[in-house]
Amino acid sequence: MTVADVTTQDRYPTRRGTGSAFLERTDPVVWPGVSSGPATAAELGEHDRDGFHVVPGLLSPAEVQDYWRELERLTRDPEVRADERTVVEKHSGEVRSLFEVHRTSGPIARLVRDPRVLDRARQILGSDVYVHQSRINYMPGFKGTGFYWHSDFETWHAEDGMPAPRAVSMSIALTDNHPFNGGLMVMPGAHRTYVSCAGRTPGDNYKSSLREQKVGVPAEEDITRLGYEHGIEQFTGSAGSALWFDSNTMHGSGNNITPFPRSNIFIVFNSVHNRPVAPFAARRPRPEFIAARDTAALAR
């Protein structure tokens, strides 16, 4: 096997037009290589076992206020609303997600380089990292619609050419996450199973999938099997807390019909040793604002 084969061979096949299948993850979750940083051994152990861990109070209340003001500024700006990087809700037309915010927002550009954030990502992935995707998910009260069950890595592999699940996501709550306002549900331990999905990727799939994902979601019987085997937990916590989760974590959320928004900043870090190649199950890579092609390592 040559070096090129190692990165381009498909160890996580999906969307090949056949049925779904469970494949065992062959890659680590917490990677060796970076020995110091803000994450404790207990947190890294939890992350390895469950596929996620929570850091309460990662941002102070004053910082939450600053980011909340930034979110309001961005969601109200007519230029931002008209930008292709803004995704609106299918039925209500409310803002759903703003992409590439680590480039369009000064405060978020600083946040991804903050040692509390960057050094934890480096510890988990065992290397230098860069931002594969960033977004603000607005999830307004009454009109916020959820995300059906999925593994992010399945999409990043199929549509962005990410070779292995050596990526980690951080979701920082900007509003309180209650059990009732559309909070994220996760299946602890299911990150070790890769669900190879049925179907094929339609052209320009991202134009609809970012509002409602239809391909790359496991079949109900797959979700049932994983749900009974691993159980389901929900991320709740005050504004400022952060959920760190593995790229292959099985997760989803319900609609938010309460008056309380559930807004969060969502950053995906990828290892510089896991740079995307050609998509594994799509004709063309998605645009840069959804899947970065600038893979230079982040520095403080």
CB of 38 to ligand 6CS, least distance (A): 25
Binding-site partner at residue 209 among ligand 6CS, Fe ion, none, CB < 5 to 8 Å by type? ligand 6CS
Contacts of 273 (CB under 8 A, 6+ apart): 127, 166
Binding-site partner at residue 155 among Fe ion, ligand 6CS, none, CB < 5 to 8 Å by type? ligand 6CS
Binding-site partner at residue 210 among Fe ion, ligand 6CS, none, CB < 5 to 8 Å by type? ligand 6CS
Phi, psi of 59 (to 5 degrees): -105, 145
CB of 226 to Fe ion, least distance (A): 15
CB of 97 to Fe ion, least distance (A): 11
Q: What does the binding site for ligand 6CS look like in residue numbers (CB under 6 A)?
A: 133, 147, 150, 152, 155, 209-210, 213
- Is residue 128 close enough to count as binding Fe ion by CB under 5 A? no
DSSP letter string over 238-300?
-TT-EEEEETT-EEEE--B-SSS---EEEEEEEEGGG---S-SSSSSPPPTTTS----PPP--
Binding-site partner at residue 67 among ligand 6CS, Fe ion, none, CB < 5 to 8 Å by type? none
Find the part of the chain contacting Fe ion (CB under 5 A) among 146-154, 222-230, 276-284, 287-295: 146-154
Of residues 34 and 157, the one with the C-beta less far from ligand 6CS: 157
Work out which of 46, 70, 152, 246 binds Fe ion, going by CB under 5 A.
Answer: 152
CB of 149 to ligand 6CS, least distance (A): 10
Helix axes of 115-125 and 41-50: crossing angle, nearest 10 degrees: 60
CB of 82 to ligand 6CS, least distance (A): 21
Of residues 155 and 175, the one with the C-beta less far from ligand 6CS: 155
Of residues 210 and 272, the one with the C-beta less far from Fe ion: 210
Using Cβ positions, the residue closest to Fe ion within the complex turns out to be 152
Is residue 265 within 8 A of residue 108, CB to CB? The reply is yes
Query: Where do runs of H (alpha helix) occur along the chain?
Result: 3-8, 41-50, 61-76, 78-82, 101-104, 106-111, 115-125, 152-160, 206-209, 220-230
Torsion of CA 193, 198, 204, 207, to 10 degrees: -70
CB of 153 to ligand 6CS, least distance (A): 9
Phi, psi of 243 (to 5 degrees): -105, 125
- Is residue 43 close enough to count as binding Fe ion by CB under 5 A? no
CB of 97 to ligand 6CS, least distance (A): 8
Q: Which two tokens stand for residue 262?
A: 């559930």
Of residues 213 and 234, the one with the C-beta less far from ligand 6CS: 213
Q: b/e for 195-209, b at 16 or more Cβ within 10 A? A: bbbbbebeeebbeeb
Classified as helix, coil or strand, 121 is: helix
- In angstroms, the Cα distances linking 149 to 3, 6, 141, 159 are 34, 30, 21, 17
Of residues 152 and 159, the one with the C-beta less far from Fe ion: 152
Tell how strand 150-151 and strand 95-99 pair up: unpaired
Of residues 31 and 289, the one with the C-beta less far from ligand 6CS: 289
Of residues 65 and 104, the one with the C-beta less far from ligand 6CS: 104
Chain residues in the site for Fe ion (CB under 5 A): 152
